[in-house]
Chains A and B, each alone.
Chain A
Amino acid sequence: MSAAQATTPLLAVRGVRAAYGKIEALKGVDIEINAGEIVALIGANGAGKSTLMMTIFGRPRARAGTIEYDGQDITGVPTHEIARLRIAQSPEGRRIFPRMSVAENLQMGADATECSEAEREAGLERVFALFPRLKERVAQRGGTLSGGEQQMLAIGRALMSRPRLLMLDEPSLGLAPLIARQIFDAIRTLNRQDGLTVLIVEQNANHALKLAHRGYVMVNGLITLTGTGSELLQRPEIRAAYLEGGRHG
């Protein structure tokens, strides 16, 4: 927590509240993400993790509190302009474009930011280096990819906008352990090699906390715990709730 960070964080969420109609999903959330960090956000179903990610992206809007990115207040910035600030997200459930080819899906990611032909090529190279399977399947329709390939495509698509901050919502959702490990390895590679800052929302707390430098635990729209990944992994309440399957009857 107080690990001597004098520099301003890349993303700072302060006292953010957000609601869907009358249902308040975020009740004053504080989160900081420093440049070059992987931060995991874990919590039970319905805790508000996806909502937080989307609120950072401006939809739903924060009703109170501020969101600062790179020293700039982005609380009121429209969704489509936030993508231009080189924040990318891969939403929950992958949501690739099923009838469009892999190449087109990736291009959609690049369209979000004005990028030169060379930058686009470089982006593609990077995605294909990370996920060689996508390269074999550039002409295939997105909807016919396997679940794991779709997740790779979703991450690849987000990377095509050359983000500084990548937000991933449950990238291991519905994936076999081996494929999930590949995805986590790819995230680690991106972080180490390219210095990409990552916010990862996960149900798979064990994996996510091992991957992450720091983690936050969210319960009912509030952050209840925070610490380094290994600290959180040691906490008995985390082990009980998320790791040892203590709750699924």
Chain B
Amino acid sequence: MSATSARPSHAAQPSGSAFILKKALISAAVALVLFSLMIGVRTEAGPQGGLIYWTRFGDLAALVGTVFGGSIIIELLRQWWGPVDKDRIVPKPVQSAMSFAGRWLAPALLVFAFLVPVIFYNQRYILDLSILVLTYVMLGWGLNVVVGLAGLLDLGYVAFYAVGAYSYALLATNFGLSFWVCLPLAGILAAFWGVLLGFPVLRLRGDYLAIVTLAFGEIIRLVIINWQSLTGGPNGVSGIPRPTMFGIPLTPGDDGLAAKLGIEFSPTHRIVFLFYLILAMALLTNWVTIRLRRLPIGRAWEALREDEVACRALGINVTTTKLTAFATGAMFGGFAGAFFATRQGFISPESFTFQESALVLAIVVLGGMGSQLGVALAALTMIGGFELFRGFDQYRMLVFGIAMVLLMIWRPRGLIGHRAPTVFLERNQAISSDLVKEGHG
């Protein structure tokens, strides 16, 4: 209604400091009113039964001051780091530094990822953690096809992870098939289940789709628990073969890789091998996704996310588009599952609870629904952050929750909220679609 409403609008954004100060003052005033009774005045039943009270104006002042300062900081951060389509008051050098970082972040991360086993060769813990992070990066990228690109909210993604893991575990322990034979099979089986899930939910959208996929995830888990004769039920499957380097086992024996290369055996070799294996699988996922986005099918996924009616009007086969999205996402989940099984050597239904689905979904959403780099960063922060706070166990979830809320305030569209266009008409027009300037040309 009036200029006093504290909602920042980009057109009428007042010049930085006055606006921030006003907003902080309002917050402080609200805090003063709220806390003056809650904190400023303390009442208690006195020794004679009457009510006695005393004041704590010092505490009150400190609190209001904190709210004031905090509000300024939050508003500053918000404007510096604000949603992409908002005007920013970032100084020029910071802006160019950020765009520089933006351009080099992905290659730098990639190089760093390749060097992790070299840098941290002697730190088993870090290697294990990196493998875990990469597994979630891969899962995030897989789910990103379904949720981020095709816009189909899937809460049961862990089902495909489980299908992949059990496919490898059962095929390897029962038929002695090697990891490299089972890997594609696990992917195909998971994709098959993806299509199977896809059919009944073709007509569903949004909330309804979410509920059905959630149920699907639970059904798969319950089937695994109860089909004792095949899956071992709650006891899981153990003795799953470790992966071999194309047939050469990574064991201390004479036919092991170390002996063949003439170097001393070390259990770290296997960890390093697993690291590069999952790195390669994750990068493959990424590469395939990037390629698919530039093909009609990938564009159709994104169009489907945007507007299903328009897709129909353009003659897109909505059925096959949805099914291929489910199948592709599921296939990557299946690959990751097979990797998980061979890394752990033991799997049980406990590893495939709803919490896993939620975690992977959180990674995709935090990453920015569709951004490959965003998903990788989100997986790194979430899984890494979880580990970082392992020391303060009881506060871990609290810190985690606060961090998520703050992130969603500052970057409501996720870490990397803008999507890179996939069609360019001419080289010089290949600028980011965010950089829209009026009246040029």
Does A65 reach chain B (CB closer than 8 Å)? no
Interface residue ranges of A138-169 to B (CB < 8 Å) = 138-141, 144, 157-158, 161
**Do the beta carbons of B425 and A108 come within 8 Å of each other?**
no
Residues on A with C-beta less than 8 A from B299 are: 100, 104, 107-108, 111
Tell whether A104 pairs with B317 under 8 Å between CB atoms, given A97-B302, A111-B296, A140-B433: no
- Secondary structure type dominating chain B contacts: loop
The contact string, 1 if C-beta is below 8 Å from chain B, for chain A 42-71, is: 000000000000000101000000000000
B296 touches A95 (CB 8 A): no
Q: Indicate which residue in A79, A96, A139, A158 contacts B421 across the interface (CB closer than 8 Å).
A: A139
Residues of A contacting B421 with CB < 8 Å?
100-101, 103-104, 139
Which of A81-89, A179-187, A233-241 is the interface stretch? Answer: A81-89
- Do the beta carbons of A98 and B314 come within 8 Å of each other? no
Q: Does A171 touch B at the CB level, under 8 Å?
A: no
User: Please, how many angstroms separate the alpha-carbon atoms of A158 and B312 in the complex?
Assistant: 12
CB of A161 within 8 A of CB of B314, answer yes
Partner-contacting stretch, out of B47-55, B303-311, B372-380: B303-311
Q: Is B315 an interface residue (CB 8 A)?
A: yes
Q: Mark B221-255, 1 if CB is under 8 A from A, else 0.
A: 00000000000000000000000000000000000
Known: A107-B423, A108-B303, A136-B441. A144 touches B436 (CB 8 A): yes
- Is A80's beta carbon under 8 Å from chain B? yes
Q: Are B315 and A161 in contact (CB under 8 A)?
A: yes
Q: A83 near B436 (CB under 8 angstroms)?
A: no
Q: Taking the nearest CB of chain B, how far is it from the CB of A46, in angstroms?
A: 18
The residue that B314 contacts in the complex, of A101, A111, A137, A141, with Cβ under 8 A, is: A111
In the assembled complex, A215 has its CB within 8 A of some CB on chain B: no
- Asked if A195 is at the interface (CB within 8 A of a chain B CB), the reply is no
Sort chain A's interface into a size bin: 35 or more
Is the CB–CB distance between A112 and B423 below 8 Å?
no
B436 engages A140 (CB within 8 Å): yes
A96-B310, A161-B315 given; A111·B300 CB < 8 A: yes
Interface assignment of A221: CB less than 8 Å from any CB of chain B: no
Do residues A124 and B425 form an inter-chain contact, with CB atoms below 8 A? yes
Instruction: Give A4 Cβ to nearest chain B Cβ, in Å.
Output: 35
Which of B303, B315, B424, B434 touches A97 (beta carbons < 8 Å)?
A: B303
* Min CB gap B425→A, angstroms: 5
Tell me, in angstroms, the Cα distance from A199 to B313 when the chains sit together: 15
Specify the chain B residue showing the minimal Cβ separation from A92: B309
Q: Does the CB pair B314–A109 fall under 8 Å?
A: yes
Structural contact, A91 and B425, CB atoms closer than 8 A = no
Residues of B contacting A137 in the complex (Cβ-Cβ under 8 angstroms): 436
Contact A97 B306 (CB under 8 A): yes
User: Does B292 make an interface contact (CB < 8 A)?
Assistant: no
> Chain A's nearest CB lies how many Å from the CB of B407?
21
> Do A100 and B314 touch (CB < 8 A)?
no
Confirm or deny: A172 has a beta carbon within 8 angstroms of a beta carbon on chain B: no
Q: State how many angstroms separate the Cβ of B100 from the closest Cβ of chain A.
A: 21
Which residues of B have CB within 8 Å of A81?
Answer: 315
How far, in angstroms, from A222 to B78 measured CA to CA in the complex? 57
Residues in A whose Cβ lies below 8 Å from that of B318: 80
Q: Are A101 and B433 in touch, CB under 8 angstroms?
A: yes
Q: Is B205 positioned at the interface, with any CB of A under 8 Å from its CB?
A: no
| CB <8 Å contact, B314 and A139 | no
Q: Which of B313, B432, B440 is close to A95, meaning CB atoms less than 8 Å apart? A: B313
Give the complex CA separation of A144 and B434 in angstroms: 10
- B315 contact set on A, CB distance < 8 A: 79-84, 112-113, 161
What separation, in Å, do the CA atoms of A99 and B435 have in the docked complex? 14
Q: Contacts A95-B307, A101-B423: A90 and B433 contacting too (C-beta < 8 A)?
A: no
Cα distance, A144 to B307, chains bound together (Å): 16
A124: chain B residues at CB < 8 Å are 425
* Minimum C-beta distance from A90 to chain B (A): 7
Name the residue of chain A whose CB is nearest to the CB of B295.
A111
- Please give the distance in Å from A204's CB to the nearest CB on chain B: 21
Q: Are B306 and A98 in contact (CB under 8 A)?
A: yes
Q: When A95-B310, A111-B299, A111-B300 are in contact, do A138 and B316 touch as well, CB less than 8 Å? A: no
B residues less than 8 Å from A99 (CB atoms): 302, 305-306, 419
B202 to chain A, nearest CB (A): 14
Tell me the nearest residue of chain B to A141, going by C-beta.
B433
A residues in contact with B174, CB < 8 Å: none
Does B422 touch A at the CB level, under 8 Å? yes
CB distance from A173 to the nearest CB of B (A): 15
With A97-B303, A100-B421, A103-B425 as known contacts, state yes or no: A157 contacts B314, CB within 8 Å.
yes
Give the contacts of B400-416 with A (CB-CB under 8 A): none
Expressed in whole angstroms, the minimum distance between the Cβ of A124 and any Cβ of chain B is: 7
The reply on B431 being an interface residue by CB < 8 A is yes
Per-residue contact bits, chain A 99-137, to B (CB 8 Å; 1 contact, 0 not): 111011011110111000000000010000000000011
Q: Is the CB of B310 within 8 A of A83?
A: no
CB pair B429 A100 closer than 8 Å: no
Contacts of A98 in B (CB 8 A): 306-307
Bound state CA distance, A105 and B290, in angstroms? 18
Give Cα A161 to B432, complex, Å: 26
Do residues A59 and B312 form an inter-chain contact, with CB atoms below 8 A?
Answer: yes
Residues of chain A contacted by B296 (CB below 8 angstroms) = 111
Contact B313 A103 (CB under 8 A): no
CB pair A91 B306 closer than 8 Å: no
Determine the chain B residues whose CB is within 8 A of the CB of A89 once the complex forms. 313
Q: Please, could you name 25 A-B residue pairs with CB atoms under 8 Å apart, sorted by A?
A: A57-B312, A57-B313, A78-B317, A79-B315, A80-B312, A83-B314, A95-B309, A97-B303, A97-B310, A98-B307, A100-B299, A101-B423, A103-B421, A103-B423, A104-B302, A104-B421, A108-B299, A111-B299, A112-B315, A139-B436, A140-B436, A141-B434, A141-B436, A158-B313, A161-B314
Residues of A within 8 A of B (CB): 57, 59, 78-84, 88-91, 95-101, 103-104, 106-109, 111-113, 124, 136-141, 144, 157-158, 161
Interface residues of B (CB under 8 A from A): 296, 299-300, 302-303, 305-307, 309-310, 312-318, 419, 421-425, 429-436, 440-441
Give 9 nearest A-B pairs by CB, closest first.
A83-B315, A95-B310, A97-B306, A80-B317, A112-B315, A111-B296, A101-B421, A91-B313, A103-B423
